[in-house]
Structure 1
Amino acid sequence: MLQLIGESIGIVFGGFITIYMVLVISFYSVILLLSLLQLRREYKLDKEQAYDEYLNDLYTKPISIIVPAFNEEAGLIQSVRSLLGINYPTYEIIVVNDGSTDDSLNKMIRHYEMKEIKKVIRKQVETKNIKGIYQSRTLPNLYLIDKENGGKADALNVGLNFSHYPYICSLDGDSILERDAFLKVMKPIMLSNEDVIASGGSVRIANGCKISNGHLLEVGLSKHPLVIMQIIEYLRAFLMGRIGLSRHNLLLIVSGAFGVFSKSWVAEAGGYKTTTVGEDMELVVRLHRLIKEKGVKKKIVYVPDPVCWTEVPEETKFLRRQRRRWHRGLFESLWAHRKLAFNPKYGPIGMISFPYFWIVEFFGPIIELSGYIYILCSLFIGGIYLEFAIIIFLLSCLYGSLFSMASVLLEEWSLRKYPKVSHIVKLFLYSMTETLWYRPLTVFWRCEGIWQIIVGEKGWGEMKRKGVSE
């Protein structure tokens, strides 16, 4: 009797995992189709179209670029140099030193000849205390704020309070921008007559690229397998996931590495939340919520063409910390706004986006890990369990490797950031192996993030930077 019950439970469990994966694959297939349609529509346009008309001050909106920096001395000078060379008429750069314990502050002061200034700041959002404000003697649009350590969100709020312009951009301290990135990411805002209140660009991986003095000279691939798999993962997340969701205003994430926001809307929403490690997603969710509650037609969009190049972890221990932290941040954002889930008051955001992020993004790793365990156990038990295991494994290959391979092809078809055929071939071949080793690793790390939530673990965890610019 007990054996029969056990067999029934095993069959039901295998069936549940199979049905779940079929539903997820179906959803991703729809997202892939939407992304294909959107890219086809966009790239029918003349991609050599000049942006000269947007360089006119009459059309463009001035931007305050906020660069939160905590122990970023390895790449901060080069990142600021990259920003000083962008192709945009009116902007300011606000570097916020968040209590760094390295030489970030002194290097900025020395390199850019900064002097301390006195300035009254309008406090729209509460923040930690400011120790000093500096301005470059030679570059009047470059500011440096030294403050007590309060985390990335608090540093962004300090920049928000200090900023002079109607749009703000959050940019990581280890990032390098392409020269026309701001013209491209601001284009939907300018064309929409301010109906678009936030716009995010693509993030690509700088490891392996040739970067000198803050400028991208040559796109390349790292030799580290972990980095190559992250490149594929980023392509999948941005080119497949975000394009499809953005098309119907369902986007819940604008990457903290590169995103532009209307300052007035961010201030009205209360600024960046300092009690979460996923402040970028939490802000976007709060903005969607504010839009719906005010009953206005505003949009948050993703633009694939403007690219920001950033450094990613090359060591397993740092990548593991990053993925655990990301999953905790995902939960904090979803839980803080849990009343949106399946709530028709919030339209497609409540009925599609939130259920998707709960069921697929947050709980997905638990079900996937269960599937891996089921496959391993079935090898010893055999029988009908083995049949379910084969189906689950094939679905895993479809869900993991096949969609990643499609993302690589999307990259080659649309943006073509990787100039060599050997790059695409290498990415394609690596994507075929994702299900066998990389995805199980990230699934396990995300499940560790869920365990950290259960036990109440806090903090970011140290992230080692070596810098990507020569």
Structure 2
Amino acid sequence: MDSNILLVVIQGIGWVVIGYMVLVILFYFFMLLVALFQIRRKYQLDNTEPYEDLLNVSYSKPLSILVPAYNESVGIIPSIRSLLSIEYPQYEVIVINDGSKDDTLDKLMEEFQLKKIKKIVKQKLTTKNVKGIYQSTIYDNLFVIDKENGGKSDALNVGINVSSYPYFCSIDGDSILERDAFLKVMKPIIDSDGEVIATGGSVRIANGSVIENGSISKVGLSRNPLVIMQVIEYLRAFLMGRVGLSRHNLLLIVSGAFGVFSKKWVIDAGGYLHTVGEDMELVVRLHRLVKEKKAKNKIVYVADPVCWTEAPEEMTYLKRQRNRWHRGLFESLWMHRSMAFNPKYGSIGMVSMPYFILIEFLGPVIELGGFLYILLSFFLGGIYIEMALLLFLLFIIYGSMYSMLAVLMEEWSLRRYPKAKQITVLFFYSLTETLWYRPLTVIWRCQGIIDVLRKKRGWGDMQRRGVSQ
């Protein structure tokens, strides 16, 4: 009798996982349709849209570019050079050296001939002590702040205090921007006359590309299978996920690698908090502030402007990254849990928060249960094998098929990868996702949940090879 009850329970778990996967697939199918129409209309049919007006100082809005840097010696110089060569009429670049233990500051001092200056700074956000502010004698719009170590959030808050302009962009110290990226990512802010208070651009993997003079001269594809799978993962996350959510102002994530914010709104919200996922937490807090003020401001995603960044090439570092991302997701959701399923916060409370809780955060647990069920079915046989096959088919659709569609969307619309061979490789690897890469990321994200329960904090060390290599 006990064994029969156990078998019924196992079968029930199988049906729960199957039902969950069907609902998730349908939800993603809806987002896919939204993304297809949005990308095709805005970024392919309108690809001749002029940006010349944005080069006019009187029309555009000046921008402060904040680059928090901690032990970024390997990639900081080409990243800053790429920022100094962007097409935008009025901007400043502020590098915040967050107590680096390597020679990040020394390299900046030598490369850009920095000179210490006196600058009056309004302490709008409380931060760690600033040791000194430097200005380049070669580029008037390049500043470097040397400060005590306080983490990425603290470094960004220092940058906000020092910045001179009404909008700021936060990018990672190992990132390379396309020259017209800011013209495109600022356009929704300018066109909306302030209604849009934050925008995010696409982030792509730079590993395998050729970088000269701080810009991508030739888009390439790494031969490392882990990196190739991350390329596919980024395509899926940005082209399908964020385009679909942004269309209805449901976006809760603006990547810390490339996002533009209204300084006034961020200061009113209290700046960046010291969390593992400071970028998502700030966006959720901005949505909360907008709803509580009963305003109509928006946070949008722009697919076309691209920021290229370095991806982990070894499993150890990729595991740490995904673990950290999942802990950061939980932290943001937990801090603002009162918004979830709360009609006071409109579609953010009733759609976006539940989506991130039930699909993004708890999804790995359900998926892991599904993978374990498939393995268990080989020992149980009978109907369990049939259910396992159905479940595996759903995993193929959710993992491999949607990733394949993301690759096709890239080729159909933005076409950042010019060679047919590159698209073929991406397409082939996307077919294998369910077989090895997806289970790995599911396990790492579940470990992130365990670390949340253990109250583990911190980023963990990440390896930098330099995007120019």
TM-score, normalization by structure 2 = 0.99
Q: Cα offset for 1:273?
A: 0.7
Matches within 5 A, 1:102-141: 102-141=102-141
Contact 2:43–2:304 (Cα < 8 Å) also in 1:
no
Q: Cα offset for 1:232?
A: 0.1
Is 1:432 aligned with 2:412?
A: no
What is the distance in 2 between the residues matched to 1:244 and 1:455?
34
Alignment-derived partner of residue 291 in structure 2: 292
For 1:246, give the aligned amino acid: S
Deviations 1:214-240 (Å, cap 9, x if unpaired)? 111000100000000000000000000
Matches within 5 A, 1:146-161: 146-161=146-161
What is the distance in 2 between the residues matched to 1:40 and 1:119?
47
Look up the SS of the partner of 1:305 in the other structure.
Answer: strand
For 1:199, give the aligned amino acid: T
Deviations 1:249-285 (Å, cap 9, x if unpaired)? 00000000000000000000000011x1100000000
Is 1:464 aligned with 2:466?
A: no
Q: Cα offset for 1:177?
A: 0.3
Contact 1:269–1:290 (Cα < 8 Å) also in 2:
yes
Alignment-derived partner of residue 224 in structure 2: 224
Q: Cα offset for 1:48?
A: 2.9
Deviations 1:401-445 (Å, cap 9, x if unpaired)? 000000000000110000001111110010000000000000000
For 1:249, give the aligned amino acid: N
Look up the SS of the partner of 2:414 in the other structure.
Answer: coil
Is 1:25 aligned with 2:31?
A: no
What is the distance in 2 between the residues matched to 1:44 and 1:315?
35
Alignment-derived partner of residue 162 in structure 1: 162
What is the distance in 2 between the residues matched to 1:406 and 1:291?
34
Contact 2:61–2:190 (Cα < 8 Å) also in 1:
yes
What is the distance in 2 between the residues matched to 1:43 and 1:127?
40
Contact 2:238–2:303 (Cα < 8 Å) also in 1:
yes
After the TM superposition, list the runs of 4 or more consecutive aligned residues in structure 1 that deviate by more than 3 angstroms.
Answer: 43-46
Look up the SS of the partner of 1:145 in the other structure.
Answer: strand
Look up the SS of the partner of 1:101 in the other structure.
Answer: coil
Q: Cα offset for 1:123?
A: 0.8
Q: Cα offset for 1:44?
A: 5.2
Alignment-derived partner of residue 202 in structure 1: 202
Alignment-derived partner of residue 310 in structure 1: 309
Call closer, same or farther: CA 1:43–1:215 in 2, change over 3 Å. closer
For 2:421, give the aligned amino acid: S
Look up the SS of the partner of 2:169 in the other structure.
Answer: strand
What is the distance in 1 between the residues matched to 2:383 and 2:10?
9
What is the distance in 2 between the residues matched to 1:108 and 1:167?
24
How many residue pairs align between the two structures? 469
Alignment-derived partner of residue 416 in structure 2: 417
What is the distance in 1 between the residues matched to 2:467 and 2:63?
25
Contact 1:342–1:354 (Cα < 8 Å) also in 2:
yes
Alignment-derived partner of residue 448 in structure 2: 449
Unaligned 5+ residue runs, structure 2? none
What is the distance in 2 between the residues matched to 1:315 and 1:7?
40
Deviations 1:384-411 (Å, cap 9, x if unpaired)? 1111111111100000000000000000
Is 1:250 aligned with 2:250?
A: yes
Alignment-derived partner of residue 57 in structure 1: 57
Contact 2:153–2:278 (Cα < 8 Å) also in 1:
yes
Alignment-derived partner of residue 356 in structure 1: 355
Contact 2:177–2:306 (Cα < 8 Å) also in 1:
yes
Alignment-derived partner of residue 11 in structure 1: 11
Contact 2:44–2:413 (Cα < 8 Å) also in 1:
no
For 2:459, give the aligned amino acid: W
Deviations 1:61-91 (Å, cap 9, x if unpaired)? 0000000000000010110000000000000
What is the distance in 2 between the residues matched to 1:310 and 1:40?
25
Contact 2:186–2:199 (Cα < 8 Å) also in 1:
yes
Call closer, same or farther: CA 1:212–1:195 in 2, change over 3 Å. same
What is the distance in 2 between the residues matched to 1:43 and 1:305?
7
Look up the SS of the partner of 1:241 in the other structure.
Answer: helix
Contact 1:213–1:469 (Cα < 8 Å) also in 2:
no
Alignment-derived partner of residue 181 in structure 1: 181
Look up the SS of the partner of 2:204 in the other structure.
Answer: strand
What is the distance in 2 between the residues matched to 1:351 and 1:248?
13
Q: Cα offset for 1:336?
A: 0.2
What is the distance in 2 between the residues matched to 1:7 and 1:462?
44
Alignment-derived partner of residue 82 in structure 1: 82
Alignment-derived partner of residue 328 in structure 1: 327
For 2:320, give the aligned amino acid: R
What is the distance in 2 between the residues matched to 1:398 and 1:35?
18
Alignment-derived partner of residue 100 in structure 1: 100
What is the distance in 2 between the residues matched to 1:359 and 1:365?
10
For 1:415, give the aligned amino acid: L
Contact 1:94–1:144 (Cα < 8 Å) also in 2:
yes
Contact 1:93–1:141 (Cα < 8 Å) also in 2:
yes
For 1:138, give the aligned amino acid: I
Look up the SS of the partner of 2:140 in the other structure.
Answer: coil
What is the distance in 1 between the residues matched to 2:459 and 2:247?
32
What is the distance in 2 between the residues matched to 1:97 and 1:390?
53
For 1:141, give the aligned amino acid: N
For 1:380, give the aligned amino acid: F
What is the distance in 1 between the residues matched to 2:294 and 2:48?
38
Q: Cα offset for 1:165?
A: 0.1
For 1:445, give the aligned amino acid: W
Q: Cα offset for 1:37?
A: 1.2
Look up the SS of the partner of 1:414 in the other structure.
Answer: helix
Alignment-derived partner of residue 214 in structure 2: 214
Look up the SS of the partner of 2:154 in the other structure.
Answer: helix
Alignment-derived partner of residue 280 in structure 1: 279
Q: Cα offset for 1:98?
A: 0.4
Contact 1:324–1:449 (Cα < 8 Å) also in 2:
yes
What is the distance in 1 between the residues matched to 2:366 and 2:449?
13
What is the distance in 1 between the residues matched to 2:257 and 2:119?
28
Alignment-derived partner of residue 393 in structure 1: 392
Contact 2:44–2:414 (Cα < 8 Å) also in 1:
no
Deviations 1:270-314 (Å, cap 9, x if unpaired)? 00011x110000000000000000001000000000000000100
What is the distance in 2 between the residues matched to 1:43 and 1:230?
23
What is the distance in 2 between the residues matched to 1:352 and 1:120?
44
Look up the SS of the partner of 1:40 in the other structure.
Answer: helix
Q: Cα offset for 1:39?
A: 1.4
Q: Cα offset for 1:213?
A: 2.3
Alignment-derived partner of residue 36 in structure 2: 36
Is 1:144 aligned with 2:144?
A: yes
Look up the SS of the partner of 2:4 in the other structure.
Answer: helix
